[in-house]
Amino acid sequence: MDKCPYCDTTLSPMPVRAKKCPSCKERIYPRINPLTGEMSLFKENDAGFIDAIKNWGLSSNEVNRLNVNLIRTGTPGPTFKDILSLYKCEYTRQGLLEHKRYVQEVEFYTSQDDSVCPSCRALNGKKFKIDDALQIMPTVVKNCTNKYGCRCVWLPVIK
């Protein structure tokens, strides 16, 4: 897609680096769309999620598998944030199950900055049995309202 994601202005040629749209002056970011494999232009937040998907090492097949899972669960039009959250959820679940072999409890830990949501802030520093922690998920916290998705972690409690 060679259209600005903000104002829908057609850009020719397709930008190869981040730049401001000549029409609306918003910053646009060219990225390979992990769902289609095609070069597209994105808003800053979506470009960030695409970069995160790349940094997590997800292949296009894994992204498509997660996309299919989101559609099966009834999520309309999954976003990159949805896909990243689902991947982080599975990664976290696997980590908790691995911890279960060695420790009894985990501690919930936030990033402790201004964007931590109230749901996560209320859990910060609390300790849980691993089975209880698994119930609090899916995206580390079910009720997380952070616009970038939950950034919190479970740390093993070593006694």
The whole-number mean pLDDT for each consecutive block of 10 residues of the chain, a chain of 159 residues, reads 87 92 94 81 80 68 60 54 65 76 85 85 89 70 71 81
The Cα angle at residue 60 between residues 148 and 68, in degrees rounded to 5: 75
Q: In angstroms, rounded to a whole number, what is the distance separating the alpha carbons of residues 80 and 143?
A: 18
The pLDDT, as a whole number, for residue 158 is 81
Residue 136 has a pLDDT of: 72
Q: How many CB atoms lie within 10 A of CB 6?
A: 15
0.75 cut: is pTM over it?
Answer: no
The answer to whether 112 touches 120, Cβ cutoff 8 Å, is: no
Looking at residue 29, its pLDDT comes to 93
Helix, strand or coil, per DSSP, at residue 47:
helix
Cα gap 42→146, rounded to integer Å? 20
